[in-house]
Copies of this chain bind each other. A is one copy, B any other.
Amino acid sequence: MEVQHCFILEKSGKFLLFYLEGTTVMGALTIKDIAKICGVSVTTVSRALNNYPGINQETKDKIMEVVREKQFIPNNSARNLKKLENHSIAVLVKGVGNPFFQPMIATLEKFVHKQKYTFILQSVNDNEDEIEVASQLSLEKKPKGIVFLGGYFKHTEAKLRQLDLPCVICAVGSIDEKSSNVCSSVHVDDIRESYRIVDYLCKAGHKRIAIFAATREDKSISALRLEGYRRALADNGLPVCEELIRYSNEGENIYSMERGYHDMKKLLKERDDFTAIYAISDNMAMGICRALKEAGKRIPDDYSVAGFDGLDMSSYYIPTITTVKQPVREMAEAAAEILFDTIENGRGVQHRTFEGEMLIRESSRAIN
């Protein structure tokens, strides 16, 4: 196969691509120039580039050095470089280790690459302000847009406006009305979905339901899911027992199996006046199941357990976990679509609420 040669020029951060077939482009380097610099024939350069036999190793090394030095890149890679502008999308994740975000990150990454954009991932620590992280990143890398995954999102409209970039907030509890004029969002209705699963437990005869929430101070999804819990109990004529609301400590890996496991052990030592445990993440629910199993309790015979999220894993666990499934892949796709719609078509802010799916599985049962 004959090889087309090309040359890349960098100009103010953008790359210009020239295909050279013998002709010289002003200021660019052809295969002839490389031959001249190395004092060899064009054929020899071509042989070196294509890794053909019959060429002296020393000559080849010399040619390759010049090629590298001048940033001349041969054929295949170059062919793919149609859209070489410096475009990127940044995804900021609060809780990058949380498996809930994993299919979202994978979906976003694929979508972004299909659009020939670079994918920048940045985790935001619990004590960091995502907008400040975004501002800094925006200065450094000039992404064309940002997706925020998770976290707490109550920033002033002015602060959001200062970012001055298309943004989509995904799987974040809620944003206030003013912020929603600036940022698009994709989420489930956490109050409603949480209500749904607690209402199911109530109607299944459970009158004492423990809930594993985030910290007492949380103002994000945990607060909303807790609100759903309270409303469902109230509508079913059940009192809220504050001792059955289990908050996490600051700094714990709040939504993890580990936390569910340790806090369940603690709860079992403290009291036994409940028949069901609702964790606001499947991860915690699985940790809770493990703690119950180690304490010799049977699920769902002794205790019903319910989670939230619908992680793939929750359908392979023994027992399978009763949960509300969030359509994470669809949500991530929607976030990416909205973002590109804004970047490329100038579309304004959009908000999409997805419906969760209630999955009643092995970990829970009716007791009435």
Residue ranges of A at the interface with B (Cβ–Cβ < 8 Å): 8, 13, 15, 51, 64, 67-68, 71, 73, 76-77, 80-81, 84, 86, 88, 96-97, 99, 102-103, 105-106, 109-110, 113, 118-123, 132, 135-137, 139-141, 156, 158, 161-162, 164, 257-258, 261, 286-287, 289-290, 293, 312-313, 316-319
CB closest chain-B residue, reference A320? B290
In the complex, which residues of chain B have a beta carbon less than 8 angstroms from the beta carbon of A136? 77, 80-81
Secondary structure of the A side of the interface? helix
Given contacts A162-B64, A312-B257, contact A139 B73 (CB under 8 A): yes
Q: Is there contact, CB below 8 Å, between A15 and B158?
A: no
Q: Is there contact, CB below 8 Å, between B121 and A81?
A: no
Oligomeric state, in number of copies?
A: 2
Interface residue from B73, B132, B141, B161 paired with A76 (Cβ < 8 Å) = B132
4 nearest CB pairs, A to B: A121-B121, A77-B135, A257-B316, A290-B316
> In whole Å, how far is A7's beta carbon from the nearest beta carbon of chain B?
12
Interface residue from B86, B287, B313, B317 paired with A140 (Cβ < 8 Å) = B86
Q: Is there contact, CB below 8 Å, between A132 and B77?
A: yes
Q: Is there contact, CB below 8 Å, between A289 and B318?
A: yes
* 11 interchain pairs, CB-CB under 8 A: A13-B13, A77-B135, A80-B136, A96-B105, A97-B103, A99-B99, A106-B123, A109-B122, A113-B122, A119-B121, A286-B317
Q: Is there contact, CB below 8 Å, between A99 and B102?
A: yes
In the complex, which residues of chain B have a beta carbon less than 8 angstroms from the beta carbon of A64? 158, 161-162
In the complex, which residues of chain B have a beta carbon less than 8 angstroms from the beta carbon of A119? 120-122
In the complex, which residues of chain B have a beta carbon less than 8 angstroms from the beta carbon of A102? 97, 99, 102
In the complex, which residues of chain B have a beta carbon less than 8 angstroms from the beta carbon of A312? 257-258
How far, in angstroms, from A67 to B318 measured CA to CA in the complex?
A: 57
